[in-house]
Structure 1
Amino acid sequence: MGLVTDEVRAKAEMYTGDEICREKTKVFLKEIAMPNGLLPLKDIEEVGYDRESGVVWLKQKQSITHKFEEIDKLVSYGTEVTAVVQAGKIKKLSGVKAKELLIWVSISEIYTEDPPNTEKITFKSPTTLSRTFPVSAFTVPEEPATEKKVEATEVKETVAVKEAVAVKEA
């Protein structure tokens, strides 16, 4: 990880464990005005973000390949993904490849036009070839966590009341 020096690691916010890393990845994507489904990683071991330099890194247990259904594209994420980020832009990206026809092409930059109200996202290779897609292809609907908890509590309370009535009737 060339971008992630000891100095960067010392200044960075770092998290370990899949659940917290997934959450922090979504938070950081939102901060830089990028779609929340852009990094659909699994079994994340570590996430780090140095806000001063913009260096971010993610480590996962094994490489994964994800298909973005809306645009019918396969993207491969290596065990280590590193980049330098700023609002609306991910630069010096490593560890990400997209399949074009029969070959895998490295992605070195991702950017949106006029963040945060953009509708298009562009992916650029080191050879400056680029492809633009709708942002919606990389957006995952967010489920309000509080509503789920309230519904679960209401179900438990309803079951408890029904059980209490059944005991009284018996």
Structure 2
Amino acid sequence: MAFSSSASSSTSFPSLESLMEQEGPVVLSGDEVCIPRSADLLESLGLPGGLLPLKDIQECGFDKTTGLVWIRQKKKTQHYFKRAGRLVSFDEEVKAYVEDKRLKNVSGVKTKEYLVWAPVGDIAVEGSFDETIRFKSYGGISRTFPSQAFSRKE
């Protein structure tokens, strides 16, 4: 059974804790709900909350059984992470399998590497104090940045 919610005001959407208690996949709709809940989910897994700064989100979801997370937005977007000095492209649908401090089998995320867009396949927080985050492309390119470069405030 899927959980669906359509927020009519910024105070009417459920907390992450209440969503995690639901049976089956959790499915939410709209920016008002999906933006804060997806950031909350990332942070609960030890990842920076600003890692996926998507816009005009139509749907987001999480299947606790498989670890699949997905976010669908109206159109492809780009975001420049100033502190990392990187331009990132997000497709209409971004998917990944989550585990503690890691997103694996990522799809729908590309970063500009020289003149080429490189698809990101794996994102992991590393270091004894979670101070760095490593992005690895499917082609084997790996880059490490300060985790703070992807906080909600960036």
What TM-score do you get using the length of structure 2 for normalisation? 0.81
Q: Is the 8 A contact 2:89 2:110 kept in 1?
A: yes
1:151 matched to which residue of 2? none
1:87 matched to which residue of 2? 100
What TM-score do you get using the length of structure 1 for normalisation? 0.74
Aligned to 2:42, the other structure's residue is in SS state helix
Of 27, 43, 54 in structure 2, the residue corresponding to residue 41 of structure 1 is 54
Separation (CA, whole Å) in 1 of partners of 2:83 and 2:41? 23
Which structure features the higher share of strand residues?
2
Separation (CA, whole Å) in 2 of partners of 1:12 and 1:114? 31
Aligned to 2:52, the other structure's residue is in SS state coil
Q: Is the 8 A contact 2:76 2:89 kept in 1?
A: yes
Aligned to 1:108, the other structure's residue is in SS state strand
Counterpart check, 1:96 vs 2:109: yes
1:64 matched to which residue of 2? 77
Unaligned runs of 5+ in 1: 1-9, 143-170
Q: Which has the larger radius of gyration?
A: 1
Q: Is the 8 A contact 2:78 2:87 kept in 1?
A: yes
Separation (CA, whole Å) in 1 of partners of 2:98 and 2:122? 10
Q: Is the 8 A contact 1:121 1:133 kept in 2?
A: yes
Structure 1: which amino acid aligns with 2:149? A
Separation (CA, whole Å) in 2 of partners of 1:44 and 1:141? 19
Separation (CA, whole Å) in 1 of partners of 2:25 and 2:71? 12
Structure 2: which amino acid aligns with 1:127? G
Structure 1: which amino acid aligns with 2:49? N
1:22 matched to which residue of 2? 35
1:1-170 alignment to 2 at 5 Å? 11-113=24-126, 117-141=129-153
Q: Is the 8 A contact 1:88 1:114 kept in 2?
A: no
Q: Is the 8 A contact 2:96 2:107 kept in 1?
A: yes
CA RMSD of aligned residues (A): 1.6
The alignment covers a number of residue pairs equal to 132
Separation (CA, whole Å) in 1 of partners of 2:116 and 2:87? 11
Unaligned runs of 5+ in 2: 1-22
Aligned to 2:83, the other structure's residue is in SS state helix
Identity, in percent, stands at: 42
Separation (CA, whole Å) in 1 of partners of 2:97 and 2:87? 23
Structure 1 stretches of at least 4 aligned residues deviating more than 4 Å after TM superposition: none
Separation (CA, whole Å) in 1 of partners of 2:29 and 2:92? 14
Separation (CA, whole Å) in 2 of partners of 1:119 and 1:113? 7
| 1:126-152 CA distance string (max 9 Å, x none) | 12220000001101239xxxxxxxxxx
